[in-house]
Structures are given as structure tokens and as C-alpha cells.
Amino acid sequence: MAQIIDGKAVSASVRERIAKETAEFAKETGVIPGLAVIIVGENPASQVYVRNKHKACQDVGMHSVVIEMPENTTQEQLLEKVDELAKDNAIHGILVQLPLPAHIDEEEVIKAIPPEKDVDAFHPANVGRIMIGNQSFVPCTPAGVMELLDAYDIEIEGKNCVIIGRSNIVGKPQAMLMLQKNATVTICHSRTKNLAEVTSKADILVAAVGRSKFVTADMVKEGAVVIDVGINRGEDGKLCGDVDYDAVFDKVSYITPVPGGVGPMTITMLLKNTLTAAKDSVR
């Protein structure tokens, strides 16, 4: 039977630590870490994420600004707003909520965020820094996965880590972070042959696919650690992950539930990056 990795509990304790550090930093320097989140359009899921980020910032004593721009905002108008925030000394982190409306070039917008304020770590300069292992910021979701493994003292060095998914947001940075911790890393994707054969060799399996209950019991090794990044809606309308949780539960040693596993860690890591950005700004 698996031990459940409790993302809510780990997240709460990391947020407590961040709140304490934020207060100490503000006392020492007079600087309150500030995050600006830009949301373009009215995507309901994005609105929920942005509200949660705003509240999380306030809860740890950070300054938080939400900029809501209409769906028909032009690329130029958005770039101007990013530029304004780039020059604002009260703002240490800038996040543009994705996805953006189709008429806006996401890559151009990400490139307009100064790397030192890019708390999502999507700017090519920050992506490059992850490759060479001297990053200030780590993309929030893979950073959250690493924090969870650490909280449960799960050894990474020398382990076979298999990641299903190669997105720039999750799969690729996850692989780099595990490599930095001296794991042997395999990245799988939609063209991977004999996927179950590969995944069943994993000591630590990270699923970031975006398909409900994609990982079945025959795909996991006895005693493996299973980290489920997926957030999907099942046929019953309920949230579920990429892993068939009930089917693998008795076979694995640790597992993250959905919800309540990786999800709560993502915003927590955003707070951590914002504090780092503020600290770096006074160095």
C-alpha cells in the first residue's frame, strides 16, 4: 500500500516558511516582494488561477497586482504593459497568465519579460540557465515536484526517473532538475515505443500527459514513487490525474493524489520565485 504524498500539507508548511522569510526580508530592507499577474480575456480557468495567485501572495504578506486586459487587447498594448511593469521597482515578478488569445504571440510576450522578473522561468535565458544548472528560478510545477520529493526524503540520486511528457512547462524542466540531482532520466512522449516497458523500469515515475487515468497498474514497477502532475476532468466530471490512482495504489510506495498532490505546490513555488526575485533585486 502506498504512502500518500500530501501536497496540501507540504504546501502549507512551505508557505509558512515563505511568509516568515518575507517578513524578515521586508524588515531588513524595507522591500516588500511584489508580483504582477496579467490576464488577457475571460478564460474561466485562468481567472480562477489568477485569483488564487493573488490571494496566496496576500496571505504570505507580498504585494500583489492583477491586471485584467480585455480579449481584444493587441500584442502592442500587452507588450507596453509588460514594459511598464518591467520598470516598476515595486514589482519583482511578472507573470502573464497563459494561454493568451490566439492573435497574440506568446513567445514574444515571454521574451519581453526581463529574465530577472520572469518568475514563471519561461524566458529563454532562464530556460538556458536550467540547462546549465545555475538557475535562480525554476518553473513552478517541476519545482513543486522536487519540493515534494524532498519533503518525503525520497532519494533521487542514482534512481531511474521516467517522465511522461516533454512540454516546456513541465516535462523538459522536470528532466533537467532530476538530472541535476544525479538521476538517470528518461523522457517519454507520444512517439515513444513500448511505453509501458520504459515506465515499468522507473523508480520514480512522473506523469505529465494530460490524459485521465493514462498510467495503469501494468505500467508501474512494484514499489515505485508515482508523481501525478495531470489535472483532467474524468467522465464523471470530477478532477483526476494522469494516473489510475486506485489501480496503482497497492503496487507503489508513494503516490500523489489529484487533487491535493502536485497542484497546491505550483502557486507555492511561484511565491518562492517572487521572494527570490525580490532578494536578487537588492543584491
Which residues make up the interface to ligand NDP (CB under 6 A)?
A: 141, 164-167, 169-171, 188-192, 195, 208-210, 229-232, 262-263, 266
Q: Which is nearer to ligand NDP, 85 or 265 (CB)?
A: 265
Smaller CB separation from ligand NDP, 35 or 85: 35
Q: Give me the least distance between CB of 97 and ligand NDP, in Å please.
A: 12
Catalytic positions, written as ranges: 53, 97, 120
CA angle 167, 96, 229 (to 5 degrees): 35
Minimum distance from residue 2 beta carbon to ligand NDP (Å): 19
The total number of residues shown for the chain amounts to 283
In the complex with ligand NDP, which residue's Cβ is closer, 192 or 253?
192
Q: Categorise residue 239: left if φ over 0, alpha if ψ from -120 to 50, beta otherwise.
A: beta
**Angle at the Cα of 274 from the Cα atoms of 272 and 278, rounded to 5 degrees:** 120
Order of strands, edge to edge, in the sheet holding 34-40? 63-69, 34-40, 93-96
Q: How far is the CB of 216 from ligand NDP (least distance, A)?
A: 12
**Residue 102 and residue 256: Cα distance in Å, rounded?**
33
> By Cβ distance, which residue is nearest to ligand NDP?
167
Check if the beta carbon of residue 268 is closer than 8 Å to that of residue 144.
yes
Nearer to ligand NDP, 34 or 230 (CB): 230
What distance in Å separates the CA atoms of residue 25 and residue 28, rounded to the nearest whole number? 5
